[in-house]
């Protein structure tokens, strides 16, 4: 079976990293995987991760000092990843760890890129308040208008995705801000996308990082990609049903 690398950018998530690792390990029983935290925290998050590593050597830590930003943290994680498949997810548990299992099996069926979606049957964005739903919706539509490669994707601004490692080959990734998947979809090479439904969860600990600065960085990123990215036509996008995902539970 293919090895999976899970890249997790983290910033002041000391209460969430241990339950995240525990839930990932439970979800991925029987799947060879590594969890790579790229951490910019100013609290005790790196110390908590080091304690985890003592018992779980498949967990790795890259603690950065004097450098911040989710996008650059994820890119650093990509360079450290050793797996055949590479996933990216947030550290705050709003992305349900159990979804990684279904994403993995989707790639095992031959797809190049897997994107869990809140906006296909079986999915939900219930973990967002009304303000964040509005901001997220505006960001999605701006991206789709400006970048043709996003137009068939129902949830292109998510931070949760998985792809084959070879998709990164030759990609000129220069992301800013937080919407790393938009950069990857615009600049990497892939021939197929599979969307699977998921429910965005409520944050139980820590604080949201959404701010006006984040929004402006996203707009800057999109307009920058309009100049850098070739006019990539949308690739075929397939969708799994909840019933199809349940078949994976028997594997």
> What are the tens digits of pLDDT across the range 156-194?
988 999 999 999 999 999 877 778 999 999 999 999 999
Residues in the chain: 251
Q: What confidence tier does 228 reach under pLDDT thresholds 50, 70, 90? A: confident
Strand 33-39 vs strand 193-197: parallel, antiparallel, or unpaired?
Answer: unpaired
Strand 113-117 vs strand 59-63: parallel, antiparallel, or unpaired?
Answer: unpaired
Query: How much is the pTM?
Result: 0.91
Which residues are registered as beta bridge partners of 195? 115, 239
**Helix-helix angle 180-187:212-228, to 10 degrees:** 10
Report the alpha-carbon distance of residue 251 to residue 247 in Å, rounded. Answer: 8
> What's the pLDDT tens digit per position in 28-79?
999 999 999 999 999 999 999 999 999 999 999 999 988 888 889 999 999 9
CB atoms within 10 A of CB 201: 15
What was the pLDDT predicted at 161?
98
């Amino acid at each position: 079976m293919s090895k999976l690398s899970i890249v997790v950018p983290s910033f002041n998530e000391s209460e969430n990293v241990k339950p995240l690792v525990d839930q990932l390990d439970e979800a991925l029983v029987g799947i060879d995987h590594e969890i790579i935290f790229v951490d910019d925290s100013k609290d005790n998050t790196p110390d908590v991760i080091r304690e985890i590593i003592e018992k779980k050597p498949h967990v790795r830590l890259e603690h950065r000092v004097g450098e911040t930003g989710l996008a650059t943290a994820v890119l650093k994680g990509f360079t450290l990843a050793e797996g055949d498949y590479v996933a990216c997810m947030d550290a705050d548990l709003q992305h349900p760890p159990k979804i990684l299992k279904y994403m993995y099996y989707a790639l095992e069926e031959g797809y190049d890129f897997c994107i869990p979606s809140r906006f296909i049957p079986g999915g939900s964005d219930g973990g967002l308040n009304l303000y964040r739903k509005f901001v997220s919706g505006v960001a999605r539509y701006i991206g789709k208008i400006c970048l043709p490669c996003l137009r068939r994707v129902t949830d292109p601004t998510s931070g949760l995705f998985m792809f084959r490692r070879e998709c990164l080959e030759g990609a000129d990734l220069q992301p800013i801000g937080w919407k790393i998947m938009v950069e990857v979809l615009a600049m990497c090479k892939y021939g197929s996308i599979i969307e699977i439904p998921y429910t965005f969860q409520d944050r139980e600990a820590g604080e949201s990082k959404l701010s006006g600065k984040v929004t402006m960085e996203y707009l800057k990123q999109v307009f920058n990609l309009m100049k850098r990215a070739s006019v990539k036509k949308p690739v075929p996008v397939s969708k799994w049903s909840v019933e199809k995902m349940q078949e994976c539970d028997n594997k």
